Structure 1
Amino acid sequence: MASGALSSDWLPTFNAVPRELFVPDRIWPGIADGTKQNPVVDRWEDAAAWRGAVYSDIPLTTQWDDGDHDGDGLGTTPSSSNSLPSMVFTMLQDLDVRPGDRVLEIGTGTGWNAALLAHRVGDANVVSVEFDAEVARGAKANLGRARRDPAVVVADGRAGWVMRSPYDRLIATCSVLEIPPAWLEQMAPGGVIVAPFGTEYGGEHIVQLTVSGDGTEARGRFTRSSAFMRIRQQRTERPLFAEYLHGAKWPAGATRTTTKLRPPDTGGWLAQFVIGAGVPAAFWRREQYENGAYTLWLYSRDTLSWATADHIPDRTEYEVYQSGPRKLWDEVEAAYHWWAERDRPSYERFGLTVSPDGQQLWLDTPDNPVPQQH
């Protein structure tokens, strides 16, 4: 693989488990460094384009809108895919599986990742949990064609699969806002958990956690940036703006201030992740205008607080409105400045600790938690 993600020890597995056996006839090819999808490619209408997509280092959307989408166009939200190959193999390297390891996978998808694991550690040592019964049926068919037979069960992935626990390794192919307690409970001491971890505000990275000797805690660092589909049970509601005004007209008594922080500076993938770590239960939308101007809208999950920051190119001061018990722009600005004052550390300096008391993001060491602005 040109990216270098495919190390020599995984090459025999890659050759033994061809990706094309796990890709349906109709796919929506993505791009390597983002979340955009391209028009549908049908194997029977353009075999060369289909094969070219399959053997490119890009993700392939295989389902939209939890299966409710029909037709050739793009759906609203991708809900299943065959992941970016370089991401598949770098996550498998993070997982560091050993011969005979018992592995739990959360999110079967097309079954390719489960097949790769089964080839490496044996069919009997792999359990893959998929919430969508139709997706699971397709994965089982794909696994049969590849002559692989890991256990595929239809269940809520947050609950793991206790009947085959404890596991030495757990890998998630869907992103989470919180590491479910059952995952930690079903791991053997010293086990490794690899999962895409994001914040509600935005941003996501792969975390590699090691379970403590007594099994009560998991701790580790982030290894790379990622953009996976969220596990369905942790998707968050996005109320409409009218619910925040509570019957009043904008600006509904909001307080007006100004800021010198450019709203675009808060919008990078890593910036969103850091802000989300310090500003919980909040999210954003952007209202775009002409010539690059836009309004950044901030919302609290409980619909009690909102804020706006107006970005106009070439200006050095920006208008802000805030309403509710939380001053959301102030929180976002404080979280951003905390990061900027430390020279904007990258994702690999951040880590996560998970315990029965909850989870804590930290910078460099566990005793240096990311401060909560709310």
Structure 2
Amino acid sequence: MRIIHTSDWHLGQNFYSKSRAAEHDAFLNWLLKTAQEQQVDAIIVAGDIFDTGSPPSYARELYNRFVVNLQQTGCQLVVLAGNHDSVAMLNESKDILAWLKTTVVAAAGATPFLLPLRDGSPGAVFCPVPFLRPRDIVTSQAGLSGQQKQRQLLTAITDYYQQQYEAACALRGDRPLPIIASGHLTTVGASKSDAVREIYIGTLDAFPAQHFPPVEYIALGHIHRPQKIGGQTHIRYCGSPIALSFDETGRRKCVNLVTFENGALAEVTELEVPVTQPLAVIKGDLASIESQLEQWRHAPSQPPVWLDIEIVSEDYLGNIQRKIQQMTAELPVEVLLVRRSREQRERIMAGEQRETLSELKVEEVFARRLALEELDAAQQTRLEGLFRETLYSLEERDL
């Protein structure tokens, strides 16, 4: 049995006003070719197929075209919802896609099923765990403290995985089939990036790896950097196929090719995804920035390099942007983001300089306002929890 584990496509992402359509199209074509070359039996997408609950039409077209084109490979497709995905939107085409060897699992409640080999015979048992929204697995109780809510959710997720595992074992019976599980969540020790949105906000920050059941492989999504969890080969994030934030620039992007033999995990190979849109981050004062920009003086004009410039300057951001625009006017680059250095931003927070609201995340605005209050630890923790729960509710409303 061979599967490709991928996740966090974020089709339809708006990246500082830039579309990622060309990059995603190139990735999906590469994935089709790879599935054919590697004779893969199934592709598992572990959540965040789309970037928003209402993706643009071109993103839906990419998704649907991939499903249709995958039929030429003889490969099964399993699509699991992530925290960015809309349950209703994914379910719209669920029944139609079932006729195209595609299983869509948008919410909690799906039971384990067999993943076939390319010849149609059973190859593995799959536990389809998408992003688990607390409201789907936990009964709300009034009066619980933040810590009690956290324990309640941890227990609920642990029990959900255990029930999936027991049902998978019953389905497997005496057959030497591997059991594969999925998940879209943060685990303890996972390394995140700026593009990763916190989930289980206000309740559970991260799920301990030791609470997963003893399956042969766990295909995780949500974290954009490929990594093993707890040093265990069978619990993995494959990461996103393209860089979704500038702090992912220069990091290798991949999908996991997972091979099973005689019911056991045999090998996991990280297949590197080709980069089709170069990103770069440069830092320094204006003189240093101008010098660093020269590296692209004779670079190909297409595609232009997308730049994040972190500047050390006492000038207003607007003045800095105009100067950088003059520096880059004749270069094959596009400046998507200009911001001050972290050190300067920290000084700004202390009132030493002025900054624009566009440089801050909503979490940073809240943290800075909270820092002005004279609160004890319990009050601060309570306000932080309420803020995170409010953000989560707003995000849920958008899906």
**TM-score, with structure 2 as normaliser:** 0.28
> Hey, which of these two has a bigger chunk of helix by percent?
2
- Larger Cα-atom Rg: 2
Higher fraction of strand: 1
Q: Which has the higher contact order (CA 8 A, sep 6+)?
A: 2
